[in-house]
């Protein structure tokens, strides 16, 4: 990989590692601290896409996926009060969601890169975030995938509760997914600020060199 792409790889790895650690710690009733760090993976991907193009952005995504696989493998070997910190089902859900969502983000950003500066990162991140949430929570917690790992069925996540504590009855994982999705959408807007700043500074530095 080109040396200029290394900061993107390091940033993506840092986001993935931090998110895998922080997802073990609850934040209120519906979130974990990892929900606040993971969305910045889309920022890393979009910055790389804007500065260097789709191909380098995809390579950064693959590097992040590899780091995530290693984290999941380590998590399956660490046992807490209720079993392994990461079950096979959660590992499959996490890896599938990350890869599908990030690659979708790259493709959508690349398609929209010629528009106004905010359009590509915002639309691609919103689409990728929605796909990520649907895939992860669907595979990790819904009853439809209980056959994936019968020994570790997340029955707790399938109990019916009011949505976000006040809506109609639905499986608990639906509330978790909605809360996670809302955070991703909020951070997609906030991330436009560092996206603009980073792209401008790096572009200006490259112009000075040349």
Mean pLDDT of the residues in the chain: 92
pLDDT for the residue numbered 109 = 98
pTM above 0.85, yes or no: yes
Upper half-sphere CA count for residue 144 (Cβ side, 13 Å): 9
Residues of the chain falling short of pLDDT 50: none
Upper half-sphere CA count for residue 57 (Cβ side, 13 Å): 25
pLDDT for the residue numbered 4 = 83
Q: CA-CA distance, 176 to 163, in Å (whole number)? A: 9
Residue 160: strand pairing partners: 171
Q: Domains plus CATH for the chain?
A: 3-209 (1.10.1760)
83, containing H or E segment: strand 83-84
Do the Cβ atoms of 46 and 109 come closer than 8 Å? Answer: yes
Q: CA-CA distance, 24 to 97, in Å (whole number)? A: 18
Q: Which of 155, 183, 176, 15 is nearest to 89 (CA)?
A: 155
Exposed, middle or buried, 107 (CB in 10 Å: 0-12/13-18/19+)? middle
pLDDT in tens, 80-132: 555 666 788 999 999 999 999 999 999 999 999 998 999 999 999 999 999 99
């Amino acid at each position: 990989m080109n040396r200029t792409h290394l900061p993107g790889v390091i940033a993506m790895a840092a986001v993935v590692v931090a998110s895998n650690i922080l997802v073990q710690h609850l934040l209120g009733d519906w979130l974990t601290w990892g929900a606040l760090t993971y969305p910045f993976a889309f920022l890393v991907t979009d910055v790389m896409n804007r500065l260097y193009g789709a191909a380098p952005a995809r390579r950064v995504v693959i590097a992040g996926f590899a780091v995530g696989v290693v984290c999941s493998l380590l998590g399956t070997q660490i046992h807490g009060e209720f079993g392994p910190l990461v079950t096979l089902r959660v590992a499959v859900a996490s890896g599938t969601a990350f890869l599908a969502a990030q690659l979708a983000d790259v493709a959508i950003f690349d398609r929209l890169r010629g528009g106004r500066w905010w359009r590509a990162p915002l639309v691609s991140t919103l689409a990728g975030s929605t796909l990520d949430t649907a895939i992860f929570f669907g595979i990790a917690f819904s009853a439809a995938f209980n056959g994936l790992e019968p020994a570790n069925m997340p029955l707790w996540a399938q109990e019916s509760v009011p949505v976000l504590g006040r809506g109609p009855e639905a499986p608990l994982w639906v509330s978790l997914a909605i809360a996670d999705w809302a955070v991703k959408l909020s951070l997609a807007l906030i991330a436009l600020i560092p996206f603009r700043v980073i792209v401008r500074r790096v572009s200006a530095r490259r112009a000075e060199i040349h």
